[in-house]
Chains A and B, each alone.
Chain A
Amino acid sequence: MAKTELATTQPQKEMLTIRPPKGWISLNLRDLWLYRELITFLTWRDILVRYKQTLLGASWAIINPVVNMLVLQFIFGNLAQMDTGGVPGPIFRYTALLPWMLFSKALSSSGRSMLTNRGLITKIYFPRLVIPLSSVLSGVVDFGISFLVMIGMMIYYKVAISWAMLTIPLLIMLTLIVALGVGLWLSALNVLYRDVGYILPVMTQLWLFLSPVGYSSASIPENLQLLYALNPMTGVIEAFRWAMLGEAPATLGLQLATSVGISLIVLISGLFFFRRMERTFADMI
């Protein structure tokens, strides 16, 4: 009898009904909100784990972009002698590498995230969106560390601080949106096709050369500018350079507008595609 009393005094929990999913399903962002703490925890785990058992630890977040900058400087600066609009080559390229590395890391970790978290997916229910989302977010810490070098370079090259720098957080968000959008498509596809794992490095490599990281988008011929701007990272990187160095191509407005448009299209379609595939994840993975 004691049990009965206990049961009736407890507030009535709402009844959750589960039926076979049909057709396109809603995004169910409410569920995602309920699990927001899990997003934080998984992001925190990825950050904690990343440099454990490495000799140099978090300094990799500095070494990586600096080496990349030197390589790009050598190819595009010393060999190809590309025009940087009067900005010193190293800082010109390092500035672009900041959002680029954030993007490429977020993309590759979210693209693989569903497989690396296979154990969780086959054992426990939670909104699967949590996984690519948290793996995208975990790159922000690396970005912060790499930014310290940027500050050093700004002092060295005597770059003046400007109000435009306040737009940086927005640009970081835009970078993450692009990465998440593409990452959602890739991570969902990766559950079905392991080919994604092989495509990812090739894709990021190509994408790097199609983005104005080593060179300025002003070097692109006039008639290709519109096509070039379709790459959502073009607008992000050029805007980043404008915010940090005050240096921008004439087409920045167009680039930024297409970047925002395309990234939203990719993100929204990615969310729906992911949700559509989600129901089969535990069966297929």
Chain B
Amino acid sequence: MTIAVHVENLGKQYKIGTAPQNRGGYNTLRDQIAGVFSRQKRLEAKKPDNMIWAVKDINFDVEQGQVLGIIGHNGAGKSTLLKLLSRVVEPTEGMMQLRGRVGSLLEVGTGFHPELTGRENLYLNGAILGMHRSEITRKFDEIVAFSEVEKFIDTPVKRYSSGMYLRLAFAVAAHLEPEILVVDEVLAVGDAEFQRKCIGKMNDVADAGRTVLFVSHNMSAVLRLTDESIVLEKGKMIMRAPTAEAVDYYLSAGHARAGEKVWEPEDVPVTAAPFNPRAIRIVDNRGNIVETIRSTEEFTLEFEYDLSAPITGLRVGIYLYTARGEPVFTSFDTDDPRMFNTHTERKAGRYMSRCVVPPDLLNTGRYTLGVNASSYRIRRYFAEERTLEFNVDPAGAPGMHWDEPRPGGIRPRLDWKIEKLDK
């Protein structure tokens, strides 16, 4: 099998501290001149403390036609790695070899100009992504059809809705036919129908023998599209494994806690004030803080917080996701209009919002809990998408006498009746 991408000891170092990035991305001549004359500043710039490795010692090969997933938490170095592979930035050390044209979807719609029409942008964007004029002309109708903006193709894109804009942008990018395709988070855009089309298109790309490097936070997309993945953590590659295994590792690393999360004041961003989260915990029906609940028993979610000033219209609530990142439900403590009316203003002080999750609701597996405290259309005080994880044990759940996986986030006990109709 041919190797399409070969990466060896790859590393990228960035300057911090005295680096321009830390001052809003610019540098002035005056600083530079001052720097030349100040010995101290010069030495400071060379100190290793001021340099960080965004990625380091990365080694892997990708075979031609393989779809490789790249997963990791924010700041793990995924974007830097993709930028290196798509040649946007140059490596500090190591080397990489790429066979064939590299197409990058680092951000769809790059180079779109709001004043130009859809048609003009389509040509321009195609050229920016490395397509030839003849290639664009040949695929023009197909691209437009894929994007579903036929009617508006001669309208300036500044008049497009954001959905249309993204569809057109992705359509161009999706019809690029590079030997190596680098994809970052593009599936986060558009509605479900369009996402399905995008995933289908990416499958086609892989089936045509092209190599795809796919980065996403959407674990179900990674699972669907890739057979093998690498996991990055703090700039290092810590694992390369079949995707299911890599996703499990990623999900359990870092944010797995045993049924409770306690916030220290320094963990809370200052922008959250006057809302200060203190703790959230999962309590079973015997009063124990647990990490695993039984699907046949109810359990309680307790969210403790302080208000340092009164807040009007506050709603405190949770998001629930499956381990693959698919949302299951969202719920707030003032969802009931009567509760909302009786709690219009919450005075400063210590609070607990608590709810009981009924039995026979969740499916077996691992879930992630996020929290949110906001005033509707006024302000979001605090939000965290991955606060707590817990498991649901299926013992006694409906249908357990058949040993088969049941997809989906919920496994409700429904009241089935069976009647014979013909007597």
List A residues at the B interface (Cβ < 8 Å): 3-4, 6-8, 10, 12-21, 35, 37-38, 40-42, 44-45, 48-49, 52-53, 119-126, 192-195, 279, 282-285
Contacts and interface: CB of A to CB of B under 8 A. Distances in A.
A6 B209 contact: yes
B65 A7 contact: yes
A20 B208 contact: no
A37 B86 contact: no
Given A52-B115, A194-B28, A18 B95 contact: yes
Contacts of A40: 127
Interface of B: 1-2, 14, 20-21, 25-30, 32, 64-65, 83, 86-102, 104, 106-107, 110-111, 113, 115-116, 120, 123-124, 127-130, 132-133, 156, 179, 207-209
Given A18-B95, A49-B116, A52-B115, 19 more contacts: A3-B65, A6-B209, A7-B64, A13-B99, A17-B97, A18-B96, A18-B97, A42-B127, A45-B116, A48-B120, A49-B113, A121-B88, A123-B107, A124-B104, A124-B111, A125-B88, A193-B32, A194-B26, A284-B27
A124 B106 contact: yes
25 contacts: A3-B209, A6-B209, A7-B64, A7-B209, A12-B2, A13-B101, A16-B97, A17-B95, A18-B87, A19-B91, A19-B95, A37-B127, A41-B124, A45-B116, A49-B113, A49-B115, A119-B111, A123-B107, A125-B86, A126-B130, A192-B20, A283-B21, A283-B89, A284-B20, A284-B21
Given A3-B209, A16-B98, A193 B29 contact: yes
Nearest to A39: B127
A16 B127 CA distance: 21
Contacts of A52: 115-116, 156
Contact of A120 (B100, B115, B128, B156): B128
Nearest to A194: B26
Contacts of B87: 18, 125
A119 B108 CA distance: 11
A108 to B, nearest CB: 19
A122 B83 CA distance: 9
Contacts of A279: 90
Nearest to A120: B111
A-B pairs, top 6 by smallest CB distance, nearest first, are A125-B87, A13-B100, A41-B127, A6-B209, A123-B110, A52-B115
